[in-house]
Amino acid sequence: MPLKAILPHTYTHLTGEDRRRESIFKEKNCLEAELRSRLRRKKSKISNMSKRGILERLAEGVVIGDGGFVFALEKRGYVKAGPWTPEATVEHPEAVRQLHREFLRAGSDVMQTFTFYASDDKLDNRGNEAASKHSGAKINQAACEIAREVANEGDALVAGGICQTPSYLSGKTKAEVQQEFRKQLDVFIKNDVDFMICEYFEHVEEAEWAVEVCKEMGKPIAANLCIGPEGDMHGISTGECAVRLAKCGADIVGVNCHFDPFVSLEAIRLMKEALDKEGLKPYLMCQPLAYHTPDCNKQGFIDLPEFPFALEPRLSTRFDMHKYARQAYDLGVRYIGGCCGFEPYHIRAVAEELAEERGCKPKGSEKHGVWGSELRMHTKPWVRARARRNYWESLNPASGRPYCASMSKPAAWGITQGHKHLTQHTEATTTDELSELYSFKS
């Protein structure tokens, strides 16, 4: 209960001296908070100097990325589906911090800032109030502080993250789009992130614009497109996309989101072939979905009728992730992580599969026996009999849904950047706009 409600007469009859003391007290608290923040940044900078950078780590072996934040935090009640913006860094920092810690414990070598869709134009898009309530700078700053705090609890690096913008989809100019990126980069520069990840780009052109801006930081750059084997949404082949990203300055090239691990690895294979043909040698990176998407078209899982609230039947098992990690490594991918649907136990499976290459198991394996070995302790004999690799490796899990189809038919609207339905605005979507969408494909 506020002080004024408890002592209304005393509070409203403060003397001038009392008010002056109250003002000094508040100012002192603000100064102390700022000093604590500066001290954290100074400690982080000292700690960063002793850590090997991302390129050094990739040169020595495999790097494990983290998993998906927006889907995981939406399920936990901290992110709104639709805008998928990360104001939780300000509103619920403890939730973001805990998820970072779980990925760190699962084996992640990188804490990527929770700044997905944190550009100003996305934070106030279609009625979103995140920008007006908090500001993009504040959301990005909080994300950096949380990621660095958790990274320093282990030997992890911090990656700043930027992604595609409503400005690009609405057909705005290169200068306007890059200005959106620069506003985020101002915060990443201030916080001295270890490297940058430009991810979730449907069009290689916008990804190139992002890489150009990130090069101004002088930090290593990873560039990921959310595309599959069919190429980007403007018809640029997957291989050419990779070549263009490498030529514009990306040190690490790959794909993330939109497709499952095995479709994504097929895209990586095409990228690798094109890069090898051009004599280009960026490191390869893969951070796919945890959902199976054999039926997806070029647009990926957002075109499936189950997106986003009924994807659970498609979820990969931990043993699928063992297979993914091994195939990725054998293909030459050295930055291996995940995106939407990837929970900490998925990342733990990746780290366990590559434990020999990494020379260690993650802390999260302390309570987990690889390939079900802990089931030897189970009371039921038929469950104890499952404590072996070949059982889980050969299992074809049932869905438990007798009338559930094995695959879906994508919506296939076939629209992309430049189409009127992709023009974005700050006002909330109207009923008339929705009515037009309802009849678009009918």
Residue numbers in the known binding site are 257, 339-340
Q: Per the annotation, where are the binding residues for Zn(2+)?
A: 257, 339-340
**Closest alpha carbon to 71 in 124, 105, 117, 110:** 117
Report yes or no: 125 and 426 within 8 Å, Cβ to Cβ. yes
Both structure tokens of 423: 């023009």
Strand duo 110-112 + 157-163: pairing: parallel
State how far the Cα of 178 lies from the Cα of 167, in Å rounded to an integer: 9
- Close Cβ partners of 48 (under 8 Å, ≥ 6 residues apart): 192, 194
The dihedral sign for the CA sequence 96, 128, 168, 237: positive
Report yes or no: 122 and 181 within 8 Å, Cβ to Cβ. no
Query: What is the distance, to the nearest Å, from the Cα of residue 421 to the centroid of all Cα atoms in its chain?
Result: 26
DSSP 316: P
The dihedral sign for the CA sequence 374, 377, 380, 384: positive
**Closest alpha carbon to 257 in 317, 310, 201:** 201
Report yes or no: 372 and 391 within 8 Å, Cβ to Cβ. yes
204 sits in which H/E element: helix 204-214
With b meaning 16 or more CB within 10 Å and e meaning fewer, what string describes 132-147?
A: eebebbbbbbbbbbbb
Both structure tokens of 25: 């007290």
